[in-house]
């Protein structure tokens, strides 16, 4: 029995690798978050609980707590959305849910970050 040789191994590996299908979440294009936060076409979503949102948030932000994001998918589809919370953990979870459901979403991390971006533009 003859061994396949290097050429045969390479061809086999190429075939195997090219035939594998990977299930990927659609990647969001790289954008400048400062431009997104200050765009009038973007919906800013604070995913913290209503009590935290009421204390302070970014300008023009709406409150959709993380727990209710799945119930609000239809209202967010077709929009560009920037989500944020206190430290970014809930925002990361919201980004994952929204991406899986076809929403164009960007991670603003924290409300303080989004507010600082807004203030930077307004103080120029």
Q: What is the SS3 assignment for 102?
A: coil
The reported pLDDT for the residue numbered 123 is: 75
pLDDT, tens digit only, all 124 positions of the chain: 555 566 766 555 555 444 444 444 445 457 889 999 999 999 999 999 999 999 999 999 999 999 999 999 999 999 999 999 999 999 999 999 999 999 999 999 999 999 999 998 777 6
Give Cβ neighbours of residue 69 (< 8 Å, ≥ 6 apart): 47, 94, 97, 98
Residue 84 and residue 82: Cα distance in Å, rounded? 7
pLDDT of residue 28: 47
Q: What is the predicted pLDDT for the residue at 122?
A: 74
Q: How distant is the alpha carbon of residue 96 from its chain centre?
A: 6
User: Which of 89, 91, 96, 87 lies closest to 44 in space, CA to CA?
Assistant: 91
CATH topology assigned to domain 28-122: Oxidized Rhodanese; domain 1 (3.40.250)
Active site residues: 85
């Amino acid at each position: 029995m003859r061994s396949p040789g290097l050429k045969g191994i390479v061809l086999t590996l190429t075939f195997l690798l090219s035939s594998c299908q990977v299930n990927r979440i659609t990647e969001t294009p790289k954008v400048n978050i400062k431009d997104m936060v200050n765009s009038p076409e973007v919906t800013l979503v604070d995913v913290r609980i209503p009590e935290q949102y009421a204390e302070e948030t970014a300008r023009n932000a709406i409150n959709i707590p993380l727990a209710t994001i799945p119930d609000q998918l239809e209202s967010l589809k077709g929009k560009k959305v920037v989500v944020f919370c206190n430290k970014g953990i809930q925002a990361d979870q919201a980004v994952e849910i929204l991406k899986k459901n076809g929403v164009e979403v960007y991670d603003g991390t924290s409300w303080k970050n989004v507010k600082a971006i807004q203030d930077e533009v307004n103080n120029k």
